[in-house]
Homo-oligomer: A and B are copies of this chain.
Amino acid sequence: MREQEPVLQEHSELKNIVEAALFAAEQPLTIRNLKSLFPLDAQPTTEQIGAALKQLESEYDNRGIELRRVGKGYRFQSREKYAPWLRRINEGRPPRYSRAMLETLAIIAYRQPVTRGDIEEIRGVGVSVDIMRSLLNRGWVKEIGHRDVPGHPALFDTTAEFLAYFNLRSLSELPPLKQKREPAEVARELNLRLPLETAATEELGEPHESEYPAANPDAPHSAEIIQLAHISQQDHG
C-alpha cells in the first residue's frame, strides 16, 4: 500500500480537495496549509499532497491556467500568453478615483492655489501623500511655489492638462456651485482660517434644518398604536 501512495487515481478526492482549495484560497497555499484542511486523524502525508500537486500540474498543462509554485506556496494563475485578452475584462470598467481623491482635486480646482494644510482644513481630515502624488503624476496638479508662512508649505494649482481633460477654456468655466448661501460667504470661510470668535457668532443658533430634515411626518402608526394599547389594557387590566 505504501508504494502505491504517490500514484493518485485520476479523480481522487484528495486531489480534488487540493485543487478546490488552491482555487478558493486568496493566497498561495503551502503543503502544510493543504494538510491542515484535513482533520488530524485523516491527514494525508506530505508525499500524498506532493503527488496530488504534481498530478494537477500536469493536468493543467496546455490549459488556460497553470499551477505555479511561488515561494513555498502553490497557486493557480492565468497563462501569460493570454494576458492580452484578459486585460479586456477590466477595460469596460475603468478604475475610479476615491472620494478623497475627487474631493482633493475639487478643492484644488476651485480654491487654487492651496497648500496641503488648506485642503486638510477644508476636508476636515488628513490628505495622504499618495493622493497628492497621484494627482501630480496624472499631470492635473502642479506645485507653483510656497506660501510665505512658517514652514513654507507648497502651493498647488491645476494645470493646462487639467483644463484640456475637462474641456475647459479657463477655470471660470468650472460648473458653478448650487449655493444655499452666498458664494462670497462660503468662499471667505473656506479660504480664511476663521478666528474662533467669528465662527462662533456666525454659527450660533443657526439651525441647519435643510441639511437634516425632520423625521418623515407620514407615520400614521404611533397614534393608532397608542390607541390600541389602551384597548388592550382595558381588556386585560
Contact = CB atoms under 8 A, between A and B. Distances in A.
A43 to B, nearest CB: 11
Contact of A24 (B17, B89, B151): B89
A63 B19 contact: yes
Given A63-B11, A64-B18, A88 B36 contact: yes
A16 interface: yes
A64 B25 contact: no
Candidate in A16, A18, A29 with the most chain B CB atoms within 10 angstroms: A16
User: In the assembly, how many copies of this chain are there?
Assistant: 2
A154 B86 CA distance: 39
A78 B24 contact: yes
B25 A89 contact: yes
A218 interface: yes
A23 B76 contact: yes
B82 A20 contact: yes
A84 to B, nearest CB: 9
Contacts of A11: 62-63
Contacts of A21: 64, 82, 85-86, 89
B29 A65 contact: no
Nearest to A66: B20
A37 interface: yes
B23 A78 contact: yes
A79 interface: yes
25 contacts: A11-B62, A15-B64, A16-B62, A16-B64, A16-B79, A16-B82, A18-B64, A19-B63, A20-B64, A20-B82, A20-B85, A21-B64, A21-B86, A21-B89, A23-B23, A24-B78, A24-B89, A29-B89, A33-B89, A36-B92, A37-B85, A37-B88, A37-B89, A38-B85, A150-B218
Interface of A: 11, 15-21, 23-25, 29, 33, 36-38, 62-65, 76, 78-79, 82, 85-86, 88-89, 92, 150-151, 218
Given A16-B64, A37-B89, 13 more contacts: A11-B63, A16-B63, A17-B64, A19-B63, A20-B85, A21-B64, A21-B82, A21-B86, A23-B23, A24-B86, A37-B88, A150-B218, A151-B218
Nearest 8 Cβ contacts at the A-B interface: A20-B64, A19-B64, A16-B64, A20-B78, A11-B62, A37-B85, A20-B82, A17-B85
